[in-house]
Amino acid sequence: MLDIRLSHHVGPPSVEGMEKIAFLGLGHMGAAMAGRLLTAGFPLTVWNRTAEKAEPLVAEGATLAASPAEAVRDADVVITMLANPAALDAVADAIVPELRPGTTWVEMSTVGPDVVKELAARLGEGVTFLDAPVAGSTDKAAAGQLGILAGGDASGVEPVLAHLGTVTRTGPLGSGAALKLIVNTALLGGVAVVAETMAVADRLGIDENVARTALANGPLGGAVGRAFAEDVYFAIPLAAKDVALATKVAELPVLEAVLEQYKSAAADPAAAGADIAKAVEHIRRSV
């Protein structure tokens, strides 16, 4: 598994002030993160495009909003955890006019620094905005052990974010999104290399366990662990989205090839929508 060593630790505090939180985006990661905040005792309003995904949280005491605008209207802290820049932009159109002075918007999706800076330029006076994407999968989200890469002024919301994991201040606004893109690019590139390497092992008749053990004991050990991980979830289409964001930054021939592998896996009915471990299986079959 990917190991990020974080420099600025803030331990989970007691809830003080009982900030009203609006959480928008209840996919696999968002639902687990919102659940952590609800368990911590924060008054929580949630919204998701598919309202049914909010039902477990509502059953535990969250309030379901009918729209993004309704969700944020009375919030002290707004957290967005959405699938891609297009989804985030649609939500931003709805919530930006509703954000009151004194509100803090924590953008935790993986969308890249340019999107973050564009959003910041749209905000009115008195609204604090920071980018704080996360390192870790659904298991870490459920346990409150995410790595939170915070760009901008996170001081006002660190007591909230500490219930989700460990906060690292990465620098100015946009730096958290930039570092997350770097981290995911390395991870996804490594997983694709492991997949193709295992295809070589398949062709040469090397026992799978022997090959995996040898690779796990080498410099790709972390990528090997993630390539064959179970009970975690990083959807293949989201992986393709993240690699595509990286390839827009510079001319990256290796990552362009990696992107094509993830796109191919996302189009495979046997793998589409599954965790990236299924992309490994797809690549091994297809090369």
Active site residues: 180
Q: HEC string of the chain?
A: CCCCCCCCCCCCCCCCCCCCEEEECCCHHHHHHHHHHHHCCCCEEEECCCHHHHHHHHHCCCEECCCHHHHHCCCCEEEECCCCHHHHHHHHHHHHHHCCCCCEEEECCCCCHHHHHHHHCCCCCCCEEEECCEECCHHHHHHCCEEEEEECCCCCCHHHHCCCEEEEEEECCCHHHHHHHHHHHHHHHHHHHHHHHHHHHHHHCCCHHHHHHHHHCCCCHHHHHHHCCCCCCCEHHHHHHHHHHHHCCCCCHHHHHHHHHHHHHHCCCCCCCCEHHHHHHHHHHHC
Amino acid at site 201 = A
Q: Nearest-CA neighbor of 256 among 151, 172, 185, 162?
A: 185
Token pair listed for 95: 């919530």
Retrieve residue 96's tokens: 């930006």
Phi, psi of 53 (to 5 degrees): -70, -15
